[in-house]
Amino acid sequence: MMNSDINKPADTSAQPRTSGPVTTELHNDRTHDSTVDTDGKNLEAARIAGHSPIAPDEITTSNATLVNSVPEALDGMAGFDSRVGGNHLLLALEPGYTVIDRGMVAPQEGYSADHQFDDPRPIGSRQDRGRIHYALNHLRPARVIELHRVK
C-alpha cells in the first residue's frame, strides 16, 4: 500500500519519534545560543537538566589540574594568553609608528530616535531615505587607541 492511499485508516497505535537528533549539527536545535554544539556540552547539560540518562562515553570531562595550569596574570586580562603580543592589540604598523592603548570608555547615553520622527521638513526634503540611523556601536563600551609617530 502506498502512503498516499486515502482509504487506508490512520495507524493510531504508532507513536511519534521521540528520540533526539542523531548528528552533531542538529544538537544545537535544542540549545540556547546560535553555536554548533560540537563537543556535546549543551546536549549533555540538557540531558542532565531533564534527568535523561547519559551513556558513559558521552560524559564530557577535562584533564586540567593545578599541576598543569598556568596562574592568571595581574594585568586585568582573565586567563592565560599565549599570543605573541600578549593581551595587547597586534596592529601591523609602518616603521616609525607606535600604538598607545588608552583603555575602555563607557558607552554613550541611550540612543533616542524620536527627533527623527518629529522632523518638520516635508518628506521630499529629508535625507534619511526611509531609514532611521541606529548606531549600535555607540551603545557598547569601546577601546580607545592612539597612533603616534616615533621621534
Q: What is the pTM of this model?
A: 0.32
pLDDT in tens, 44-92: 777 777 777 766 666 667 776 777 666 666 665 555 555 666 667 788 8
Where on the phi/psi map is residue 86: left (φ > 0), alpha (ψ -120 to 50), or beta?
A: left
Q: Where are the beta strands (DSSP E) in 1-151?
A: 97-105, 142-149
pLDDT in tens, 27-41: 555 555 555 666 667
Q: What's the confidence (pLDDT) of residue 49?
A: 78
So where are the chain's domains?
Answer: 20-62, 83-123+133-151
**Residue 151, Cβ density class (10 Å: 0-12 exposed, 13-18 middle, ≥19 buried):** exposed
Buried/exposed code over 38-77 (b: 16+ C-beta within 10 A; e: otherwise): eeeebbbebbeeeeeeeeeeeeeeeeeeeeeeeeeeeeee
Set of cell numbers at residue 33 = 545560543
How many angstroms from the chain centroid is the CA of residue 149? 36
pLDDT in tens, 101-130: 888 887 776 666 666 667 677 766 666 555
